[in-house]
C-alpha cells in the first residue's frame, strides 16, 4: 500500500509542493468565478470520495469550508464531534485512525493536542490533514497566502507583520517564512513567544525572521499586518493574556505606519475592540472576508493533492 500524502505542517512539504497547491487554488478559483459556478466543479475530481472531519474544538470556518470544498470537488463529508465519539471516552487517536482508515478516504482533524494529530498520521492508511491544533494552523496560512497574492502580488519579497501572541498561527507563519521567502516580523510579549523548536528550524532553513516586543517597529513599512484573538478556546488565564497583549492592538494609527498598499488579515473569530479596532477590521485595508472565503479554495487544492496518485 502506498504511503499516504498527509498535510500536517508546512515544514513537512517542500516549497515546490506548497507553491503548486497555491497555484492550483488560484487557477481553480478563477475558473469557477469566470463561469459563475456555484455547485460542484465540472470535473468533480473527488467524486465518490469521503472525508471524515473530527472536531474536538468549536468550529465555523474550518467545518463549513472543508464541507464546501469537498462538495465542490464532488465528494462528501462526515462530521465527527470528539465528545460524541469513542475519542471522548478514552479511545486512542491511533485506534480511531486505524478504524477510520477502513471507512473513509481522508481524515481532517481539528484538535487540542498536536500529539493526537501526529499519532493518527503515524498509523493511518489514508491522508490526515491538520485542520488546527494547539501548535499550528497550516490550512489557514495557505488561505492567507492565497489572499495576499490576490491583493498585492507575489508574497516572495513582501514584509509581513504579526502582532500578538506567538500562538499556533504565528508558528505556522514562521514555517511559511522558511518555505516562501518573505520577511516575517513578529511583535509579541516575551511571555508569549512562538515555539522555540519551530523558530530554530526556520532560522536553520534561512528564514528572514525577527521577533520583537516593539509593535511599532514591526508594523513599520509592512505589506501585511496580521493578528489573532488574544484568548483562545482553551485558555484559562484570559485576564492575564489581555493585560499582556493590550499594547499589541492593531489600530488605525498602526495601520498608517504600514505601507499605503498594506492589507489587514485576521483568521477570525475577531474580538472587536481587543486585538483589533472596529475601524481597522471594517476598514478599506481589511481583507478578512476574502481571507475567510479562501479557506475553501486553498483546502480544495490541499484535498486534491492529498488524494492524487
| Confidence tier at 87 by pLDDT (50, 70, 90) | confident
- Predicted confidence at residue 233, as pLDDT, reads 66
Cα separation, 82 vs 97, whole angstroms: 13
Same domain, yes or no: 287 and 143? yes
Q: Establish whether 242 is a catalytic residue.
A: no
Name the domain count of the chain: 2
228 labelled catalytic: yes
Catalytic residue among 71, 105, 228, 266: 228
Residues 118 and 230 reside in one and the same domain: no
Domain residues for the domain of 16 are: 10-137+295-306
Does the structure show a pLDDT above 90 at 37? no
> Which one of 61, 67, 137, 266 is the catalytic residue?
137
Same domain, 107 and 212: no
Q: What is the CATH number of the domain that holds 302?
A: 3.40.50.1370
132 and 144 share one domain: no
* 140 annotated active-site: yes
Q: Report the alpha-carbon distance of residue 123 to residue 113 in Å, rounded.
A: 17
- 102 shares its domain with 241: no
Summarize pLDDT for 132-172 with one digit per residue, the tens: 999 999 999 999 999 999 999 999 999 999 999 999 999 99
Distance between CA atoms of residues 148 and 279, nearest Å: 20
Flag whether pLDDT at 269 surpasses 90: yes
Q: Annotated catalytic, 163?
A: no
5 occurs within a structural domain: no
> Out of 116, 295, 297, 306, which one is annotated catalytic?
295
**Active-site residue among 72, 139, 140, 306?**
140
- List the beta bridge partners of residue 77: 51
Are residues 111 and 22 both part of a single domain? yes
Catalytic residue among 163, 267, 287, 306: 267
Query: Is 137 among the catalytic positions?
Result: yes
Do 199 and 153 sit in the same domain of this protein?
A: yes
36 in a structural domain: yes
* Distance from the Cα of residue 248 to its chain's centroid: 21
Amino acid at each position: 500500500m502506498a504511503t499516504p500524502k498527509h498535510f500536517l505542517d508546512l515544514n513537512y512539504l517542500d516549497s515546490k509542493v506548497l507553491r503548486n497547491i497555491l497555484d492550483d487554488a488560484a487557477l481553480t478559483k478563477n475558473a469557477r468565478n469566470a463561469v459563475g459556478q456555484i455547485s460542484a466543479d465540472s470535473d468533480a475530481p473527488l467524486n465518490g470520495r469521503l472525508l471524515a472531519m473530527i472536531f474536538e474544538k468549536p468550529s465555523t470556518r474550518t467545518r463549513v469550508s472543508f464541507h464546501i470544498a469537498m462538495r465542490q470537488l464532488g465528494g462528501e463529508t462526515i462530521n465527527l464531534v470528539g465528545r460524541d465519539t469513542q475519542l471522548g471516552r478514552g479511545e486512542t487517536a491511533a485506534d480511531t485512525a486505524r478504524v477510520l482508515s477502513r471507512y473513509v478516504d481522508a481524515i481532517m482533524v481539528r484538535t487540542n493536542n498536536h500529539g493526537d494529530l501526529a499519532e493518527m498520521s503515524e498509523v493511518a492508511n489514508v491522508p490526515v490533514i491538520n485542520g488546527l491544533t494547539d501548535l499550528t494552523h497550516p490550512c489557514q496560512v495557505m488561505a492567507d497566502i492565497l489572499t495576499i497574492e490576490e491583493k498585492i502580488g507575489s508574497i516572495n519579497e513582501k514584509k509581513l507583520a504579526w502582532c500578538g501572541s506567538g500562538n499556533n498561527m504565528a508558528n505556522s507563519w514562521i514555517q511559511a517564512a522558511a518555505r516562501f521567502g518573505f520577511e516575517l516580523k513578529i511583535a509579541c510579549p516575551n511571555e508569549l513567544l512562538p515555539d522555540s523548536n519551530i523558530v530554530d528550524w526556520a532560522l536553520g532553513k534561512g528564514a528572514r525572521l525577527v521577533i520583537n516586543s516593539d509593535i511599532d517597529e514591526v508594523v513599520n513599512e509592512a505589506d501585511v499586518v496580521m493578528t489573532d484573538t488574544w484568548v483562545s478556546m482553551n485558555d484559562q488565564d484570559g485576564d492575564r493574556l489581555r493585560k499582556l497583549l493590550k499594547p499589541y492592538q492593531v489600530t488605525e494609527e498602526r495601520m498608517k505606519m504600514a505601507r499605503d498598499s498594506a492589507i489587514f488579515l485576521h483568521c477570525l473569530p475577531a474580538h472587536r475592540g481587543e486585538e483589533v479596532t472596529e475601524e481597522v477590521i471594517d476598514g478599506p485595508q481589511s481583507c478578512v472576508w476574502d481571507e475567510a472565503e479562501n479557506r475553501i479554495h486553498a483546502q480544495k487544492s490541499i484535498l486534491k493533492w492529498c488524494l492524487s496518485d
